[in-house]
Structure 1
Amino acid sequence: MYEILVTSHSYLRWLVLMLGLATTISAIMGKTSKAQFSDGDRKLGLFFMISCHTQLLLGLVLYFVSPFGAKAFEMGMKEVMGNAFYRKIAVEHVFTMIIAIVLITVGHSKNKRETSDAKRFNNALIFFGLGLLLILAGIPWNKAV
């Protein structure tokens, strides 16, 4: 089960990153060209948010079944914080991703209520762009966990 989860979590990150990049580029292009916020723009943000939430669910399950997660629970917080690898996996990765997903969800929710196309592109750029940056910063690139 662990291998399936870690492989799924690792591959899904590429979908999340592609959708995040596409959403951010779409927001930049829409903002600079003063285009209409289309149904395609809305769906792109929605799919980005859904992929992030799916990734979060996989990651949370993985957190509790992973040998790294089990080891981190055994170690205790003081020891985890003193070990760069376990701090990254058990603390920094989790909290960075949760903050990113909250930003992405807030951006999507704000765009559902917004009526101005310019403000929708602005919301997408700010919230989805910041979320994408946090995701990029929080990925443990040297180790797929």
Structure 2
Amino acid sequence: MYNSLLFVHSWLRWIILALALIVIIKAFIGWFGNKDYSKGDNALSASFVGTLHLQALIGLILYVFLSPITQSAFQNFGGAMKDAALRYWAVEHILAMLVGVIIAQIGRSRSKKAVEAVKKHKTTAIFYLIALIVILSRVPFNEAGRLFR
């Protein structure tokens, strides 16, 4: 179960990255090009945030129930804070990812409430870009073996 969820969690990041880039680029084009906010824009936005939620759910299941790394950290949390690798997985990764998901959700909620199309695009562009930066800051890109499980 652990390896299967870890595999899905690892590959889902690439779908999220692709969706993020598409949504953010389209939002900037809509914002600066003064374009209408279409049903397609809304669907892409919902897909991006929905996929983030799925990724967060899988990550939380891994974090709380299945990961031997976090289980080890939970046994001696004070000691884990002194170990950079354990601290990364026990605190930094999960915290940054949850903050990124929350920022994206706030952006989605605010863009849905906006009346003007340009405001929808602007809100989407800003919040999703910030969320992407936060998320990318804690993806383990430096560990090549984790990129394509």
Q: How does 1:48-63 map to 2 (within 5 A)?
A: 48-63=48-63
Alignment length (residue pairs): 144
In structure 2, give the amino acid aligned to 1:37: Y
Aligned to 2:134: 134
Are 1:31 and 1:121, in contact at CA under 8 Å, matched by a contact in 2? yes
TM-score by length of 1: 0.95
Separation in 2, partners of 1:98, 1:118:
28
* 1:31-42 aligned within 5 A: 31-42=31-42
1:16-31 pair list within 5 angstroms: 16-31=16-31
Q: Where does residue 47 of structure 2 map in the other structure? A: 47
Note the aligned Cα RMSD (angstroms).
Answer: 1.3
1:70: which partner in 2? 71
Mapped to 2, the partners of 1:87 and 1:28 lie a distance apart of: 36
Partner of 2:90: 90
SS at match of 1:115: coil
Consecutive unaligned residues of structure 1, counting only runs of 5 or more, are none
Task: Describe the SS at the equivalent of 1:138.
Answer: coil
Structure 1 stretches of 4+ moved >2 Å: none
Secondary structure, counterpart of 1:35 in structure 2: coil
Aligned pair 1:117/2:90, yes or no? no
Amino acid of the structure 2 residue aligned with 1:54: L
TM-score by length of 2: 0.92
Amino acid at match of 1:42: N
Aligned AA (2:72): K
Contact 1:104 1:128 in 2 (8 A): yes
Residue 106 of structure 1 corresponds to 106
Question: SS in structure 2 opposite 1:139?
Answer: coil
Aligned-residue sequence identity (percent) comes to 34
Q: Residue 75 of structure 1: CA displacement? A: 2.3
Q: In the alignment, residue 73 of structure 1 is paired with which amino acid?
A: F
